[in-house]
Structure 1
Amino acid sequence: MRYVIIGAGAVGGVIGGRLAGSGHEVVLVARGAHFEALREHGLRLRVPEGELTHRLPVVDGPAALGELRPDDVLVLAVKTQDSVAALQTWGPAPVAGGGTAAERLPLFCAQNGVEGRRLALRLFRRVYGVCVWLPSTYVEPGVVSAAGSPLTGILHLGRHPHGTDETARLVAADLEKSHFEAPVVADVARWEYAKLLSNLGNALEAVTGPVSDEAALALFRRVRAEGAAVLDAAGIAYASTEEQQAVRGDKVTLVPLDGAPRGGGSSWQSLTRGTGTIEADYLNGEIALLGRLHGVPTPLNELLQHLADTFARERRAAGSMPVAELMRRADEAVVNMR
């Protein structure tokens, strides 16, 4: 199989680099300065064993590949807000022997949140969910880092909306040879919704910086509890914290990397790169949506969604709002929702 990584940023770049390092054929898809750096200097992957450089084919769209191959596996790793454009670009791409990518090829959605899979299923026949537990960073063109050890990450795989098949097992086997644990599960959505609850803190981190002091941790617990109440009201199952901890254990422990300090998660990285967009609409916004559908107030998630969107749109510095100011706004939001 050949892996086409659509979005070679933090998650896609690390998955692509690790697969290439274990001998698998990989094509990276990128744009702008990242595309130029990858084409000129290769993918620089910083991991606990050092900096590895992978000279891989890099393209900015399917036209550069001509016809796709019947054995291609598409890995969608763009942020959810960029999914529609990517799906509409790659779905109609022709496949050797006839048909299109949307008709014939498997698409693995390695993304935060849950909306990307639903968007993909509108166009692609074979959609797979990937619950991404992969601490990784992309803030410099051409360079991605992953500090996890002994494993780089844990990636639960399954058909969307449910089930498993041989393709999922073959991809999992390749990932297992590439510094990942990759359980194939019939209920991948249950793991993705559990990860969604964890990702509700991404906006908090992006706005105020690392969630480390007690005030920030207390706020995150309130934000997560709000999200859990919404999922419960909607009847949506999610893996418990205890179940997640049992699976992860100490398999992905962060270690210091030379020249690659980890400043924050994916939303923090979006603000740091000044992209102008952020994924909060599909994380905190997913909870807000479900809350409105099921009659559960979500003032804290709505606040974080609004602040993250504002920071991205106005290109404010990541972590620049004092925690005390955010706490004040949070308390005010709760009072106003009553």
Structure 2
Amino acid sequence: MRFIVYGAGAIGGVLGARLAGAGKDVVLIARGAHLEAIRRDGLTVEAPSGRTVHPIKAAAHPAEIEWTQGDVALLAMKGMDTEAALRELAAVAPPETPIVCVQNGVANERAALRMFANVYGVCVMFPATHLEPGVVQAQSEPITGLLDLGRYPEGVDDTAEAIAAALRDATFESVPRPDIMRWKYTKLLMNLGNSIDALCGRDEDRSDVLARIREEGEAALAAAGITFTPWETDRERRGDLLQVKPINGQQRSGGSSWQSLARGTGSIEADYLNGEIVLLGRLHGVETPVNELARRLANQAARAGTPPGSFTPDRILELVH
């Protein structure tokens, strides 16, 4: 089994490095200065226990890879980039290739199923950071992350079991789950705060705006008839498995959306997080004004190059109509 990690940023980069470190065959697909640095110097992983460098094969495009029947594609890009990546994969990868969505949000799996028959969802609990070319950070040790997975839309098969076993070999917790989307919808509710994390930073008291966002999210899911794993069950699953520690004396600065603003990428994932709740609300008659405002402000900040922490939670609530 060879793992093709498409999107070698924070999640994909650490995931690929951990798999390679466990003796798995890995190819990364990256771009720009990050790809150049990986090809030139290897992929550097910074962790609380120190720094390692991994000489991993890296490609700029799926067409550069000679695909075989034993390949597994791990998607690790953000939701707004998924459909373009799938089109590129569909042009070169065998149609039976397992597509594993190691991504936040709940729209990636459906998009993949349009083009590939074997699609797997992963519930991603994985503190990682990517802010400079050729370098990714894994903030949790000894367990790097929780990556439970299952077939989409439901079920577990031999491929899911084999992928989970490989992930466990590579310092991850991974449980095959037939109802993986229930877990992913709980994670979606958690990720609704990503835009607030990016807009406001972590020094402000965000409890009021986060409560509003999640209340809207739960109401939209209920109206749509979508079930999610209860919060208590999710907390029990996570327990204290993730031990986030300083790297180079510094605490983790922010999550994936915060990193998008900090790196000035020009885009952010809010349409596939808050926007998912806005979509469900519009389809099922539920008002979601805080999620819509968070989605819109996050996109505006990304397009304008606004740095993270430029808003306050109170200001966001003042702007809600």
Aligned position for 1:162: 154
Counterpart position of 1:43: 43
Structure-to-structure mapping, 1:27-106, within 5 angstroms: 27-65=27-65, 67-93=66-92, 100-101=93-94, 103-106=95-98
1:242 aligns with 2:241: no
**Residue-by-residue CA offset, 1:171-200 (whole Å, 9 max, x unaligned):** 100101111110100000001000000000
Match of 2:294 among 276, 290, 304: 304
The letter for the 2-side match of 1:320 is S
Percentage of matched positions with identical amino acids: 49
Give per-residue Cα distances to partners, 1:236-264, cap 9 Å, x unaligned: 11111111111111010211111664211
- Structure 2 partner of 1:265: 255
For the residues of structure 2 that align with 1:220 and 1:324, how far apart are their CA atoms? 11
- Tell me, in whole angstroms, the C-alpha distance in 2 between the residues paired with 1:151 and 1:25: 21
Deviation of residue 46 (structure 1)?
1.2
The match for 1:290 among 272, 280, 298 is: 280
Secondary structure of 2:104's partner? Answer: coil
Give the AA of the match of 1:203.
S
**Offset of 1:302 from its aligned partner?**
0.3
Asked whether the equivalents of residues 127 and 139 of structure 2 are also in contact (C-alpha less than 8 Å), the reply is yes
Counterpart of 2:188 in structure 1 is 196
Structure 1 residue matching 2:243: 3-state secondary structure: strand
- Structure 2 vs 1, CA of residues 45 and 259 (structure 1 numbering), >3 Å: closer, same or farther? farther
Q: Secondary structure at the match of 1:73?
A: strand
Which 5+ residue runs of structure 2 have no aligned equivalent? none
Which AA in structure 2 matches 1:183? V
Structure 1 residue runs of 5 or longer lacking an equivalent are 94-99
Cα deviation 1:124-150 (Å, max 9, x = unaligned): 111100110101101111111111123
Question: Structure 1 residue runs of 4+, over 4 Å off?
Answer: none
Which secondary structure state, in structure 1, belongs to the residue aligned with residue 91 of structure 2?
A: coil
Q: 1:97 matched to which residue of 2? A: none
- Tell me the distance in 2 between the aligned counterparts of 1:197 and 1:149: 25
**Number of the residue aligned with 2:12:** 12
Structure 1 length-normalised TM? 0.93
2:24 aligned residue? 24
Q: Indicate the residue corresponding to 1:122 in structure 2.
A: 114
Deviation at 1:154, TM superposition (A): 0.5
- 1:179 and 2:151 correspond: no
* 1:62–1:89 contact (8 Å) kept in structure 2: yes
Partner of 2:101: 109
Q: Contact between 1:46 and 1:260, CA under 8 Å: does it hold in 2?
A: no
C-alpha distance in 2, partners of 1:244/1:253? 17
Letter in 1 for 2:81: D
* 1:96 match: none
Q: What SS does the aligned partner of 2:141 have?
A: strand
**Structure 1 residue 89: deviation in Å?**
0.6
Shift, 1:233, TM fit: 1.2
1:211-270: per-residue Cα shift (whole Å, max 9, x none)? x543x1121011111101111111111111111111111010211111664211111111
One of 301, 310, 321 as aligned partner of 1:320: 310
Which range moves more in the overlay, 260-269 or 220-229? 260-269
Structure 2 CA distance for partners of 1:33 and 1:260, relative to 1, 3 Å? farther
1:275 aligns with 2:265: yes
Do the aligned partners of 2:204 and 2:313 also contact (CA within 8 Å) in 1? no
Residue 136 of structure 2: which of 134, 144, 156 is its match?
144
Q: How many residues align?
A: 321
